[in-house]
A and B are shown apart, each in its own frame.
Chain A
Amino acid sequence: MATHKPQTLSRRRVLHAAAVGGIVLGSPAVLRLARAAEPLKIGVLLPRSGFFATAGQACQRGCDLAAQILNAQGYSVQLMNADFESSADIARTQAEKLIREGANILIGCFESGATNAMAQVCEQRGIPCIVNIGADPKITEQGYKFLFRNFPTSPMLVTNGLKAMGDLFAASGTTPKTAVLMHANDTFGQSMLGAITALGPKVGLPFTIVDTIAYDPKARDLSIEVTKAKAAHADLHMVVTRSTDAILMIREMVKQKYEPMGIVSPGSPGMYDGQFFKTLGKYSDYCITNIAWMNPKQELENMLAAEYAKAYPNEDYELNIGFSFEAILIAADAHKRAGATASSALVEALRATNIGKRVMIGGAIKFDEKGQNVDQAVAAVQNRDGKAVVILPTDVAVTKPVFPMPGWQQRT
């Protein structure tokens, strides 16, 4: 049977009580430190199957490597991966699922419809999200308070892409007088066309666009469109392609002996894809894409490139990898500065983001009041010997541009 001693107030008891009291009063700081040690759970929502599977899987590789590299550097992140099967409807339920399973922040989604679905769920649940890839300007015009986008909008891509054309002509000493524009007729193609039409005159393009030719990006044959482009007798062939349509277009250009001064994209995928190089061989060379690209002069990029080559020797190293890496970097950096995984702390830290040591070409990563990184530069990337290399701006270029391009029959 237990007996109880009468409670007396000794000096030792007072000191003990004071110590306990001190711990209790100081607990917010202690708890804050304890929380900082919690890894940041990042919900990665990507189209790893379905129509956008190739790009989604590339983005996933970038995220996986980012977690590996950043954790080794003292960050603390844990990925929770979800595949939305290239369907915006599924993206919404998967976003809900990731949040339910404890994701502190979401990253995605490569495709605009899915990105909006994710953003809405995050907005309603008060969870921050970072857009890794997605150029639709409307995404940051919806008044979302929890959304942050590192990727440039299509007007930004086009403005910088068109400006880069001027730099290209200046560097090569050859300026075309006319151009024909062939573009995929989908969400991306239309927004790019709108931006080119609106911004072209403002950036002072040195050439006139004599014809605009839209095509279905899923078309199996572009012979009619290429014939029409050839008939325009323009100096420059401008393109807004998506993926395999770029291959079809070049094949048809070779077949029809259509040899413009150059083939330049003011910011679209397709011509730097691995499949483009593999399928077209020598005909893939000299095509130029003005696009946000990895900065070979950045230490972090060199690290990523080396790790990527080691982990995925047979996969393309392209911008989806770089931007997905940076999305994880932004989240990890915010978590480190916030010292917490709470949504409000993360959002506050994300708003104060200022990352100078990054992977992509451009100024420090900072977000404006709409959550958009406005200082995302564009590089001119030219295909040379089956590889996309930076030719402009000169401070990050690894080689000089070749413009006008050699004719199809002059290639070895």
Chain B
Amino acid sequence: MRLSRGIVALALFFVAMAAAPLFLGDYPLAILILVLFAAYLGQAWNIMMGFAGLLSLGHALYYGLGAYLSAALFAHYGISPWLGMLAGIAAAVATGSAVGALSFRFRVGGVYFALLTIAFSEFTRILFDHLHWFGSSSGLFLPVTGRAGADLVSLRGPTVMFYYLLLAATAAVLLLSRILLDRRIGYYWRAIREDEEAAQASGIDVFRYKLAAVALSAGLTAIAGVFHAFYYNNLYPETIFAMGRSIELMLPAIIGGLGTLFGPILGAFVLVGISEGLTSLTAGLGIDGLKQLLYGLVLGLVVTLQPGGLWPWIALRLGLRGAMR
């Protein structure tokens, strides 16, 4: 009964989100797109950290690979972004697997694994600064079109098209996470997260399942990169592979609740909501940087009061036990 209540609430949420463009203008829709980007990416990152306990501080690497490969293939050869997406996913999975294999083979774990992910991300940023095929540090541009028609094949179209694509992707990754958590792999991941040695002693192939978490998380992150490239139409290594992006990408899951299903989505709403709310509140004051200061304070407060994230706390009060995972 409780589980069905959660499902009904979730269904209502997605119905409301699907209906939103009918009532909202371009500005609120642009804000919701930021929410969906954050929610999707938070869920992708959550698979690695929340489910398998692997801290990645360099997820911008996979995001950038997806963005750059699909955009460059489209810009240079007119290859559909969906095919480019496959190339981006393949590159991100291969890179993620290489980083993971190196670390897990040589037993680089915890904070050292996190440092390694930063190193690879920074290394790739510097590399892309010098790759002319990707526009080097001068940036890679995609042709801009008006917002009249939606061309799904070429991912050229109005804001609302990207909104629905991201909404579908967010729902899909939520469903995927739910399915995986109920499968053997989900149990193995949580066993590894809680106690890696005990998991290994129980006969779990730790190397294999950790690698699977990295590969899946990297591949999913690359998909968001593709949407970014075709939504924003310009890419610069210094912003796509930026350390700041990796941090932004983690925040929804941390604020919403690590390892939970709905936490990253809630976290995305909270983060973007606070950010936009503070922008509006501080706009009239004319004090530059005040917004960032308040944003930091609010985040600090949230993390201090609810270190486990907001969703477990809310779900407990709503009696949504099943949805707490």
Q: Which residues of A contact B (CB under 8 A)?
A: 48-50, 53, 56-57, 81-83, 85, 87-89, 92-94, 96-97, 99-100, 112-113, 116-117, 119-120, 123-125, 136, 138, 142-144, 185-187, 189-191, 194
Contacts and interface: CB of A to CB of B under 8 A. Distances in A.
Nearest to A84: B279
A113 B139 contact: yes
Contact of B288 (A83, A100, A136): A83
Interface string B125-139: 000010000001111
B30 A93 contact: yes
B137 A185 contact: yes
Interface in B177-236: 232-234, 236
Contact of B234 (A96, A117, A124, A186): A117
B34 interface: yes
A-B residue pairs, 5 tightest by C-beta: A100-B27, A124-B147, A96-B27, A49-B289, A48-B288
A49 B287 CA distance: 10
A96 B137 contact: no
Determine the main DSSP class of B at the interface with A.
helix
B292 interface: yes
B288 A189 contact: no
Contacts of B158: 124
A100 B159 CA distance: 15
A123 B292 contact: no
Given A123-B144, A187-B238, A92 B138 contact: no
A49 B141 CA distance: 26
A113 B239 contact: yes
B321 to A, nearest CB: 36
B260 to A, nearest CB: 25
B291 A144 contact: no
A119 B136 CA distance: 21
B314 interface: no
B149 interface: no
A49 B34 contact: no
Contacts of B143: 142-143
B108 to A, nearest CB: 26
A57 B289 CA distance: 11
A142 B141 contact: yes
A116 B276 CA distance: 21
B26 A85 contact: no
B25 A100 contact: yes
Nearest to A218: B238
A25 B141 CA distance: 49
Given A187-B137, A190-B129, 12 more contacts: A85-B292, A97-B27, A113-B139, A113-B234, A117-B232, A119-B144, A120-B233, A123-B144, A124-B159, A142-B143, A186-B238, A187-B138
Residue in A97, A100, A119 with the greatest tally of chain B CB atoms within 10 Å:
A97
A231 B156 CA distance: 52
A186 B242 CA distance: 13
B30 A143 contact: no
Contact of A194 (B138, B232, B233): B138
Contacts of B129: 185-186, 190
Given A88-B232, A93-B31, A123-B144, A190 B291 contact: no
B318 interface: no
B18 interface: no
Contacts of B27: 93, 96-97, 99-100
A186 B137 contact: yes
Contact of A116 (B26, B138, B234): B234
A112 B137 CA distance: 11
Nearest to B148: A124
Contacts of A143: 143-144
A83 B25 CA distance: 21
Nearest to A138: B141
A99 B159 CA distance: 15
Nearest to B292: A49
B301 interface: no
B116 to A, nearest CB: 21
A87 B136 CA distance: 19
Interface string B238-268: 1100000000000000000000000000000
A93 B34 contact: yes
B283 interface: yes
